[in-house]
A and B are shown apart, each in its own frame.
Chain A
């Protein structure tokens, strides 16, 4: 997966250039766009190799507009409009409304969401509260779960990493009839005053996007950090869950153990 341009009502990513370097040199490289509009680069290396390095350098601009305070659509209205096909974007939202390979809707998730989703409450307010609730009630713990832990396991443990939190929040939203999608991207860490920015301190990250009706469109929330996403959140790709957007996937021929290292570096080109 490589960066793409994404346009949303209240935010957008404009991707100006991408330079991908792969070592060793692949025998074949292809590009295509997947079902969710993400850019996929696939390659194969037929020579024997001990290590594989993939580096992607891209220049992007992230815009973030404040949410218009005037729009106070309730969460039931959004769900109801979609159900009645009154929302012009019902079809796009459909894809993110049902069970996906790693996320199954259930009464348990619906009940967890009910604390925040009171009757006729504003959708944005309710989702913000759910985001906070997950942030407070779940322990951030890299040892609690692994890549293939289920959403239910992480929910039971009340612990996990960003991927688990995103899955849990999506499960809650879909269980009450709201479309939600998984966003995989980078998080830029802003150094504290007086400190030098550290190279590679930025991270791969995951958060969610909820469909808030045609006026607001998709709005991103970060349950790991309990916030509405800002310009430090740089989305790369979207999907129904982690399975659709794992940043890199492959098959290697031959034995031995493999080890994976990832580092991310976000630098601003112009101050702003």
Chain B
């Protein structure tokens, strides 16, 4: 018997006690006695708190690993995933869902009709079903949207935000018709929840979500004006600094689409094209995630750079389809909600089965009066836009602010809607080791196809202990949850997006379609990864020398190692000057600190951060395994105690170096030899050559009297000590070391090896006709290789009377100058594709009198 054993925790569901004032998803559906939750609650109770907690921890780890929440920036580690995942899902029976689903389908069909009308005949306005001001006073409406042609539906993917009331009825709190976010997170929630509760989900008859995604894919493909069986579909993302980026990259990878930004695109001859290393490639379908008015600086907002000039014209010419069509944001305006029932009557002759939360558009005189009289029962929102900021709650305002608000409503009534606060049901949420009744918000997703509307079975669930925070914005709330639609009987299985294996496939060898921007990111990823490794090795060797038995003063090679560290910017240059060292803090303290110092602009941390940033920017090109390693590398140096000791620091560096090697191994073994791989390798080779040159210049050009230990250290830093030992045993001599590190073409760490590889890689890059001869980059690379090939190890190792190795120094200086130039030439030739653009719209109007 164990002493002090705590009594077992009570079964979580048996111990779940929601507040009675709200509809509770578990209790109201029958709870433990009956209904869909019963077998699930039973399973989880048998599992017990500890094991559920273990599942929760595993889920957290998977979320972290997937990289969806990983965003390392220069200033801080921040979470870009809005919610942590709560492991216990929301469960709904399929009858409840069926009713909700048909309401959602009806709503999407209606919004499509309304949008078509607003951008077309405008019958709704002329017949005064909708107030004409919804367009004429609406600053979001750009005249250029009107009559912009659309192939198929104007709305492909929409979302609806829902709340469940005390009586179990569903209310719509908002629509998203532009480019709803959250679909990627809903998918990821499902993938992770089923990974941590595999048995439970398999035996629970949960409707699969994959069919929805294949329907989305088919629908997007069907919009293509040409090549409909295999069109080029691109996701237009606002860029890596947008909250959308992580999700866009995730969806691009899952659906097999190209992820593009505005500057990757060009309209030529009325066609939308992707700018790639191999030239322009036409895009058939653009799934855009940028705002409507930012899509085309020529005809829409001229200050926006997220879109592409001429897009509207290429839409008019019918060569590209954009989903959702430009202008679709109009029907998500809150001011539309009160008029939807009338619009439904007008178009379809029937009522809306799914009601919207009470919404009053202040542009109407009666509504305005009602709102002003009932201000405290309502919240206020902008009428024409879906805003990311929380609604105005008059109860929270000071008297002054309240008066201002009232004056503002009276002065600009068209711009306000007032809404009732929704009541929100509670559902069991796993939090801190127990189930809590938290409030719930659901976002449903729907795809409109030729045959109707497909609804994602489930949706994105946000939960929070209070209701207000869920009302703030679509990203608010404390945690996310998966949502299971559970049937009585087993459901059909379609769990893959792959086409049937017997379908014919065209064999392709690709790589040319690499956007120049992605090539650039891969190139810099290579450079930063290599720099990180070089600096980490140099630090590790130096720290190991300091940590030895000898007092620091007796470590003869230390000054040269410090010079090398100073040369790469890891420590202050003062440490390389013997006379100054005394005045500085001790190395034992400074070196470990420098490893973890995030503010050192050229230090190891900066290098890791740069590397992770570049990986993030190219993440749709990096495999899941690769990204896991990169995530790990980002974590290797994070979260250290204040004064790390040398031993612990060396341990961290060991881990970092191991992870970096894993990454580089993965690049070698798992990446196809496309241009993407070539740019990654070019970055690595150029950086390795540069780092080695700097290291040798700092350590060997002015030889110290007892060079043995220094050579040993240099060979360790360059990972060549094993090879050296196998050849020369323990005799450490400069000539042999210099040969191994500079002129030995069999050593993958030598300079000549890097330069040979650089030349081979450049030769394989696409060569446009203008440069039939030899690009500048090619010439520089050949020159550098020539210098190294012609060098003789004994000459290089020769020390003159002045105490200098002039030959060596001369060669290394050529490389230290030439390699950055080579890098610039490569960037200029392949990676910079757009010059600046300028708007031409001076006033041409003078006047006479």
A36's contact among B143, B836, B849, by CB below 8 Å, is which?
A: B143
**Interface presence of B267 (CB below 8 A):** yes
Within B828-846, the residues touching A (CB, 8 Å) are: 834-846
Collect the chain B residues with CB atoms within 8 Å of residue A91's CB. 122, 125-126, 132
Interface pair A224/B844, CB less than 8 Å apart: no
Option from A28, A90, A163, A252 in Cβ contact (under 8 Å) with B270: A28
Contact B840 A248 (CB under 8 A): yes
Roughly how many angstroms separate A163 CA and B847 CA in the complex, as a whole number? Answer: 8
Which residues does chain B contribute within 8 Å of A161, judged by CB atoms? 845-847
State whether B298 touches A250 (Cβ < 8 A): yes
Q: Quick check: is B603 within 8 A (CB to CB) of the other chain?
A: no
Note all chain B residues with C-beta closer than 8 A to A250.
298, 839-841
Taken together as a complex, chains A and B put the C-alpha atoms of A205 and B838 apart, in Å, by 25
Pairwise interchain contact B846-A35, C-beta atoms closer than 8 A: no
Task: Encode contact with A along B107-131: 1 for CB under 8 Å, 0 otherwise.
Answer: 0000000000000001001101000
Question: Do A251 and B309 touch across chains, with their CB atoms under 8 A apart?
Answer: yes
> Cβ of A262 < 8 Å from any Cβ of B?
yes
Known: A30-B317, A163-B845, A250-B298. A258 touches B838 (CB 8 A): yes
Cα-based distance from A234 to B608 in the complex (angstroms): 65
In the complex, which of the residues A95, A162, A242, A253 contacts B837, with contact meaning CB atoms closer than 8 Å? A253
- Chain A residues within 8 Å of B143, by CB: 34-36, 244
Residues of chain A contacted by B837 (CB below 8 angstroms): 251-254
Q: How far is the CA of A163 from the CA of B843 in the complex (A)?
A: 9
The answer to whether A51 has its CB under 8 Å from any CB of chain B is: no
| Cα A228 to Cα B241 with chains together (Å) | 54
A59 at the interface (CB under 8 A from B): no
Nearest Cβ distance between residue B842 and chain A, in whole angstroms? 4
B548 at interface by CB-CB < 8 Å: no
User: What CA separation (Å) do A90 and B137 show in the bound complex?
Assistant: 14
List B contacts of A27 (CB < 8 A): 268-269
A142 at the interface (CB under 8 A from B): yes
> Does A21 touch B at the CB level, under 8 Å?
no
Known: A94-B132, A250-B298. A205 touches B269 (CB 8 A): no
- Given contacts A30-B316, A36-B143, A140-B849, whether A251 and B269 have CB atoms under 8 Å apart is no
B141 to chain A, nearest CB (A): 9
Residues of B within 8 A of A153 (CB): none
A162 vs B849: C-alpha distance when bound (angstroms) = 10
Residue A187 interfacial (CB < 8 Å): yes
Expressed in whole angstroms, the minimum distance between the Cβ of A233 and any Cβ of chain B is 11
Q: Do A147 and B139 have beta carbons less than 8 Å apart?
A: no
B846-A203 in contact (CB<8A): yes
Residues of chain A within 8 A (CB-CB) of B746 are none
**Residues in B whose Cβ lies below 8 Å from that of A66:** none
- With A203-B848, A204-B844, A224-B849 already in contact, the answer to whether A254 and B839 are too (CB < 8 A) is no
Q: How far is the CB of A35 from chain B (nearest CB, A)?
A: 3
| B846 surroundings in chain A (CB, below 8 A) | 142, 161-162, 203-205
Closest chain-A Cβ to B516's Cβ sits at a distance in Å of 15
Chain A positions within 8 Å of B267 at CB level: 44
Q: Which of B143, B147, B838, B848 has the largest count of A CB atoms less than 10 A from its CB?
A: B848
A203 to B139, CA, bound (A): 32
Contacting A251 at CB < 8 Å: which of B139, B146, B840, B849? B840
Which residues of A have CB within 8 Å of B229?
Answer: none
- Mark out the residues of chain A between 47 and 94 whose CB falls within 8 Å of any chain B CB in the assembled complex: 85, 90-91, 94
Interface window among A12-20, A96-104, A124-132, A208-216: A96-104
Interface centre among B137, B297, B836, B842 (most CB of A within 10 A): B842
The CA of A7 and the CA of B122, in the complex, are separated in Å by: 22
Whether, in the assembled complex, A115 has its beta carbon less than 8 Å from a beta carbon of chain B, the answer is no
Cβ of B836 and Cβ of A187 under 8 Å apart? no
Is A246 part of the contact surface with B, judged by Cβ < 8 Å?
yes
Taking CB atoms, residues of chain A closer than 8 Å to B309 are 251
Chain A interface, number of residues (Cβ within 8 angstroms) = 51
| Contact of B638 with A by CB under 8 A | no
Quick check: B841 and A249 within 8 Å, CB to CB? yes
A47 and B311 alpha carbons, distance in the complex (Å): 19
- Indicate which residue in B125, B317, B847 contacts A162 across the interface (CB closer than 8 Å): B847
Q: How far is the CB of A245 from chain B (nearest CB, A)?
A: 10
* In the bound complex, CA of A132 to CA of B743 (Å): 89
In the complex, what distance in Å separates the CA atom of A204 from the CA atom of B845?
A: 5
CA distance A2 to B298 in the complex (A): 17
Binary contact readout B387-401 vs A (1 if CB under 8 angstroms, 0 otherwise): 000000000000000
B133 sits at the interface (CB 8 A): yes
Contacts of B132 in A (CB 8 A): 90-91, 94
Q: Which residues, 170 to 210 on A, are CB-close (under 8 Å) to B?
A: 184, 187, 189, 203-206
Taken together as a complex, chains A and B put the C-alpha atoms of A99 and B541 apart, in Å, by: 69
Q: Is B313 an interface residue (CB 8 A)?
A: yes
CB atoms of B841 and A248 under 8 A apart:
yes
Q: Are A249's CB and B125's CB within 8 A?
A: no
How many Å lie between the Cα of A12 and that of B63 in the bound state?
A: 67
Set B126, B144, B843, B847: member contacting A34, Cβ < 8 A: B144
Let me know if A255 and B845 touch, CB within 8 A.
no
Chain A CB within 8 A of B310 CB: yes
CA distance A260 to B841 in the complex (A): 9
Q: Is B230 an interface position by the 8 A CB rule?
A: no
Q: Are B269 and A99 in contact (CB under 8 A)?
A: no
Query: What residues of B have a CB within 8 angstroms of the CB of A140 in the complex?
Result: 847, 849
Contacts of A8 in B (CB 8 A): none
Contact assessment for B845 and A206 in the assembled complex, using a CB-CB cutoff below 8 Å: yes
Q: Residue A203 contacts which of B316, B842, B847 (CB distance < 8 angstroms)? A: B847
CB distance from B414 to the nearest CB of A (A): 8
Query: Which of A46, A184, A189 meets B845, CB within 8 Å?
Result: A184
The closest CB in chain A to the CB of B842 belongs to: A260
Measured between alpha carbons, how far is A30 from B136 in the docked complex, in Å?
28
Check A94/B133 contact, CB under 8 A, given A161-B846, A203-B847, A251-B309.
Answer: yes
- The verdict on A120 contacting chain B, using a C-beta distance below 8 Å, is no
CB-CB < 8 A to A90: which residues of B? 132
Convert A121-151 into 0s and 1s, putting 1 for each residue whose CB lies closer than 8 angstroms to a CB of B.
0000000000000000000101000110000
Chain A hits for B414, CB < 8 A: 98
Asked if residues B842 and A30 are in contact (CB atoms below 8 Å), the reply is: no
Closest residue to B133 on the A side, CB-wise?
A98
By the criterion CB–CB under 8 Å, are B848 and A187 in contact? yes
Q: Contacts of A32 on B, CB cut-off 8 Å?
A: 316
29 A-B pairs with CB atoms under 8 Å apart are: A27-B269, A30-B313, A30-B317, A42-B313, A85-B128, A91-B125, A97-B136, A99-B137, A147-B843, A162-B845, A163-B843, A187-B848, A203-B847, A205-B845, A224-B849, A242-B843, A248-B840, A249-B841, A250-B839, A250-B840, A251-B297, A251-B840, A252-B837, A252-B840, A253-B834, A254-B836, A254-B837, A255-B835, A258-B840
Other A-B contacts than A204-B844, A250-B840, A255-B836, 4 sampled, CB-CB below 8 A, are A224-B848, A225-B848, A254-B835, A254-B837
Lowest 7 CB-CB distances: which A-B pairs, in order? A162-B847, A35-B143, A147-B843, A98-B137, A262-B844, A250-B840, A260-B842
